[in-house]
């Protein structure tokens, strides 16, 4: 308890510049933790939704019925559901238009799915740059506060005849708190960024693989008359 009070006392008695630095680092840390928890929920949700959708998709059911069920849900779609809806809807629309070769038909579906894939990837990557920024600049901001605090500590020694450790220790201690705060803000942000960037890359690979798999399935039905919708994988 005494140590906690001494740390609080050092912060309260620090110079204005050091206090501003500490406030900025505290704000950055709080913001990064908010992003960390939000992205964790989003990525875990995307992974769970992909597992569930793939299980239903590869169960061998009617793709038309699956599309109608997804479309009738009237809810914001994400992940593989949005990619599937975009590709299957484009497939039906282009077949109804007619006058297209199988290759043109599949290419149009693939473009539509790519757009949905990029939109989903952008959603998952949102705010990751903020974690990277906090992780990269926080140590330098803390170092600035440390340098400033040490400068003030040594400047205060210019007015005394004999310097002692007791006179220098408080100023140096408050300065080092800024470095510690910078690391406290940076380390979790860097760890979370690396972890989430890897998980997003893995999800993007799953989405990309699904695009190719669905394109292959639709390719087998591209030359079938429009009245016969794709039924099973």
Which tens digits make up the pLDDT trace of 91-141?
Answer: 888 888 877 788 888 899 999 999 999 999 999 999 899 999 999 999 999
Are 211 and 117 spatial neighbours (Cβ–Cβ below 8 Å)?
yes
Q: Bigger pLDDT: 192 or 154?
A: 192
Report yes or no on whether pTM surpasses 0.75: yes
Counting Cβ atoms within 10 Å, is residue 83 exposed (0-12), middle (13-18) or buried (19+)? buried
Enumerate the domain spans of the chain.
Answer: 2-220
221 is written with which tokens? 């039905």
Per-residue pLDDT, 224:
58
Q: Bigger pLDDT: 133 or 19?
A: 133
Are 171 and 158 spatial neighbours (Cβ–Cβ below 8 Å)?
no
The CA angle 27-120-92, to the nearest 5 degrees, is 160
Q: Bigger pLDDT: 122 or 10?
A: 122
Query: What DSSP state is assigned to residue 157?
Result: G
| Secondary structure string (H, E, C) spanning 37-59 | HHHHHHHHHHHHHHHHHHHHHCC
Per-residue pLDDT, 159:
64
């Amino acid at each position: 308890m005494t140590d906690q009070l001494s740390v609080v006392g050092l912060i309260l008695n620090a110079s204005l510049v050091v206090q501003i630095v500490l406030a900025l680092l505290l704000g950055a840390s709080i913001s990064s933790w908010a992003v960390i928890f939000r992205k964790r929920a989003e990525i875990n949700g995307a992974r769970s939704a992909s597992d569930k959708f793939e299980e239903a998709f590869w169960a061998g059911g009617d793709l038309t019925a699956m599309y109608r069920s997804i479309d009738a849900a009237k809810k914001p779609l994400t992940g593989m559901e949005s990619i599937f809806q975009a590709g299957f809807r484009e497939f039906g629309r282009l077949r109804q238009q007619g006058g297209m070769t199988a290759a043109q038909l599949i290419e149009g579906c693939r473009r539509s799915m790519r757009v949905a894939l990029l939109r989903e990837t952008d959603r998952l990557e949102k705010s990751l740059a903020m974690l990277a920024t906090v992780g990269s600049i926080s140590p330098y901001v803390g170092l600035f506060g440390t340098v400033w605090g040490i400068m003030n500590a040594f400047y205060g020694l210019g007015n005394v005849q004999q310097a002692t450790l007791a006179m220098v220790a408080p100023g140096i201690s408050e300065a080092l708190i800024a470095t510690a705060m910078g690391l406290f803000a940076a380390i979790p942000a860097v760890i979370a960024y690396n972890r989430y960037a890897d998980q997003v890359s893995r999800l993007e690979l799953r989405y990309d693989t699904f695009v190719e798999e669905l394109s292959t399935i639709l390719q087998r039905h591209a030359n079938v008359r429009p009245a016969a919708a794709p039924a099973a994988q």
